[in-house]
């Protein structure tokens, strides 16, 4: 009986220590949540450098980043495919925010565009790079049944992967010379967890996420902050969502939230509701996650094919 007393005491302290540890973790998590989603960080602006460069800057999230950075007093370089759209968005930003803009019309499906971009950016003090340009599937599909598969592979890799590496290669040296700068790489929640029927897209966005995390660790001691942004659905043309909802915010709402995480989170969903969604998905058993994801994407695929057949 006497030996049971020390054992009981030991178990008591193990239990007390475990509870204390869990309470401290919960308290820290709540503190971080309030710091990120309640207070945020306003340390983004022209003090990082006069210019911000935004790829895919004429629509959706890219356009909203361009507008938000212009609102904060930064001059903006818009890079996209259509010169007409570039001119329109450039004029809107200049008129609304009274800042200088530049445009570069290139097609990111091509690999021979980066000398042109380098020449156009020469001499600019670039404080922020937003690698936003991206491409997804027309609809969820099995890998071998993707229409024009070889061309789709090339396009997705060129736009979603190559552009991020090449644009970073062009802009990062200037940031290092000044020991300050921010690179925002727009990945996707599809890069956080594998998404079957969007296989190439999901894998390409996972590359962006890993690339960002590695780059941040390599250069954070040199004054460079690299952020991987992993949103769930945002009401954009790319997502084919027209009407914003609480869990599918407008690009403006999303960017207003996401930009406040710069300097606080090197890896972020950018939006509090998306953060909660990510927490749930991360804790689902893997087989349940894949069952839900496959079921959802198969239903989207069936709906698209049925509609296409009618037309």
pTM for the whole structure: 0.88
Q: Is residue 38 part of a domain?
A: no
Whether residue 71 is contained in a domain is answered as yes
195: confidence class by pLDDT, cuts 50, 70, 90: very high
Q: What is the pLDDT of residue 72?
A: 96
Q: pLDDT (tens digit, 9 = 90+) per residue, 112-169?
A: 999 999 999 999 999 999 999 999 999 999 999 999 999 999 999 999 999 999 999 9
Q: What is the pLDDT of residue 241?
A: 86
Position 262 in a domain: no
% of the chain beyond a pLDDT of 70? 87
For residue 22, name the pLDDT band (cuts at 50, 70, 90).
Answer: low
Q: Does pLDDT of 98 surpass 60?
A: yes
Domains held by the chain: number: 1
Q: Is residue 197 part of a domain?
A: yes
108 has pLDDT over 90: yes
Q: Which residue range is the domain that position 86 belongs to?
A: 44-252+283-310
Residue-wise pLDDT tens digits, 248-293: 999 999 999 999 999 999 999 999 999 999 999 999 999 999 999 9
9 pLDDT band, cuts 50/70/90, is low
- The average pLDDT across 87-97 equals 97
In a domain, 21, yes or no: no
Q: Is residue 170 in some structural domain?
A: yes
DSSP-assigned letters across all residues of the chain: -TTHHHHHHHHHHHHHHHHHHHHHHHHHHHHHHIIIIII-----SGGG-SEEEEETTTSHHHHHHHHHHHHTT-EEEEEES-HHHHHHHHHHHHHHH---EEEEE--TT-SS-HHHHHHHHTT--EEEEEE------SS---GGGSTTHHHHHHHHHIIIIIHHHHHHHHHHHHHHHHT-EEEEEE--GGGTS--TTSHHHHHHHHHHHHHHHHHHHHHGGGTEEEEEE-----SSTTTT--S--SSS--HHHHHHHHGGGTTT-SEE-SSHHHHHHHHHHHHS-HHHHHHHHHHHHHHHHHHHHHHHHH-
The CATH number given to whatever domain includes residue 191 is 3.40.50.720
Q: In this structure, is residue 181 part of a structural domain? A: yes
Q: Residue 38 pLDDT more than 80?
A: no
Question: Would you place residue 4 in the very low, low, confident or very high pLDDT band (cuts 50, 70, 90)?
Answer: low
Q: Tell me, yes or no, whether 32 lies in a domain.
A: no
Residues marked as catalytic: 201
């Amino acid at each position: 009986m006497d030996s049971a007393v020390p054992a009981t005491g030991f178990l008591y302290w193990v239990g007390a220590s475990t509870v204390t540890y869990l309470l401290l973790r919960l308290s820290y998590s709540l503190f971080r949540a309030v710091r990120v989603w309640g207070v945020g960080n306003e340390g983004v602006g022209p003090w990082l450098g006069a210019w911000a460069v935004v790829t895919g800057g004429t629509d959706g999230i890219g356009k909203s980043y361009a507008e938000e950075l212009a609102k904060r007093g930064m001059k903006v370089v818009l890079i996209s495919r259509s010169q007409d759209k570039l001119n329109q968005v450039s004029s809107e930003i200049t008129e609304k925010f009274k800042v200088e803009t530049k445009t570069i019309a290139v097609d990111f499906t091509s690999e021979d565009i980066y000398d042109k971009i380098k020449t156009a950016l020469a001499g600019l003090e670039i404080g922020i790079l937003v690698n936003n340009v991206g491409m997804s599937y027309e609809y969820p599909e099995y890998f071998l049944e993707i229409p024009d598969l070889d061309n789709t592979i090339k396009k997705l890799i060129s736009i979603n992967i190559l552009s991020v590496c090449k644009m970073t290669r062009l802009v990062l040296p200037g940031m290092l010379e000044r020991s300050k700068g921010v690179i925002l790489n727009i990945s996707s929640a599809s890069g956080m967890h594998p998404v079957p029927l969007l296989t190439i897209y999901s894998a390409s966005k996972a590359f962006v996420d890993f690339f960002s995390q590695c780059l941040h660790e390599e250069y954070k001691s040199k004054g460079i902050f690299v952020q991987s942004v992993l949103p769930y659905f945002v009401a954009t043309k790319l997502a084919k969502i027209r009407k914003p909802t609480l869990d599918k915010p407008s690009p403006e709402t999303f960017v207003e939230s996401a930009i406040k995480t710069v300097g606080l989170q090197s890896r972020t969903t950018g939006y509090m509701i998306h953060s909660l969604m990510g927490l749930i998905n991360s804790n689902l058993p893997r087989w349940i996650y894949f069952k839900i994801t496959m079921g959802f994407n198969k239903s989207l695929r069936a709906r698209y094919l049925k509609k296409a057949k009618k037309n």
